[in-house]
Amino acid sequence: MIEVVAALIWSGKKFLICQRPKHKTRGLMWEFVGGKVELGEEKEQALVRECREELGVTLSVGEQFMRVVHQYPDMLIGLTLFNATIKSGEIQLLEHADVRWIEPKEIDFYDFCPADVEILAKIKQKYC
**Residue 48's domain spans which residues?**
2-127
Q: How many domains does the chain have?
A: 1
Answering whether pTM is above 0.85, one says yes
Q: Residue 12: is its pLDDT beyond 90? A: yes
Say what the pLDDT of residue 100 is: 98
Say what the pLDDT of residue 35 is: 96
pLDDT in tens, 40-90: 999 999 999 999 999 999 999 999 999 999 999 989 999 999 999 999 999
CA dist list (Å): 60 to 71, 72, 84, 113, 117: 29, 29, 6, 24, 25
Q: Residue 93: is its pLDDT beyond 90? A: yes
- 7: which residues sit within 8 A by CB, 6+ positions away? 16, 32, 33, 34, 47, 51, 59, 61, 81, 82, 83, 84
Taking a C-beta distance cutoff of 8 angstroms, is the pair 103, 19 a contact? no
Q: Looking at residue 23, which CATH number applies to its domain?
A: 3.90.79.10
Confidence label for 25 from pLDDT (cuts 50, 70 and 90): confident
